[in-house]
Amino acid sequence: MAKLQIRKVGDEALRKVCRPVDAITPRVLTLLDDMVETMRTANGVGLAAPQVGILRRIVVIEVEPGEVIELINPKIIAYSGEQDGQEGCLSVPGRWGMVKRPMHVTVRALNRKGEEFEITGHELLARCFCHELDHLDGGLYIDKAYAMDEDDE
């Protein structure tokens, strides 16, 4: 596995729409593994492929330690409720913003075996699904934030 370079705000890869994954190849499997290692090393809870310069519809999330969720070609198929919360992003270091998101989100995606599945997240996981899937369409949380803070460092 290899730690990948996380792209920062201003990098044009973060503003592009990603292409679907056509086949689960060894390269895709390696990317999933490398993304998990990169996310963990950076102390993140989610990482989307464009954040490491790969314009494919791939996301990894680990809200609960040891419970990695891999999403290939994910799509939000249902959402409900509403929550306000603070978000940060590995691609926007040192900044935090308040963002309104759904409380419950269901995503349909492929797993690493190419099998379709659905997963529903609540609260933080729902927020992560929305945040990471926004990356796949060139969006950043700062586009939706209604208040922003910066670290005092």
pLDDT mean over 63-71: 97
CA dist list (Å): 10 to 16, 104, 140, 152 = 12, 31, 11, 21
Q: One of 82, 115, 132, 153 is an active-site residue; which one?
A: 132
Give the model's pLDDT for residue 93. 94
Q: Which amino acid is at 145?
A: A
Rounded Cα gap, residues 18 and 57, in angstroms: 6
Long-range CB pairs of 41-46, under 8 A, 24+ apart, other chains included? 41/3, 42/6, 42/90, 44/90, 45/124, 45/128, 46/128, 46/131, 46/132
Kindly list the domain boundaries of the chain, sorted by start residue: 12-150
Which of 3.90.550.10, 1.10.3810.10, 3.40.50.300, 3.90.45.10 is the CATH number of 12-150?
A: 3.90.45.10
Neighbouring-strand partners of residue 104: 80, 122
Neighbouring-strand partners of residue 77: none
At 102-150, the pLDDT tens digits run: 999 999 999 999 999 999 999 999 999 999 999 999 999 999 999 999 7
Is 132 an annotated catalytic residue? yes
Rounded to two decimals, the pTM is 0.94
**Has residue 152 got a pLDDT over 80?**
no
To the nearest whole percent, how much of the chain has pLDDT over 70? 97
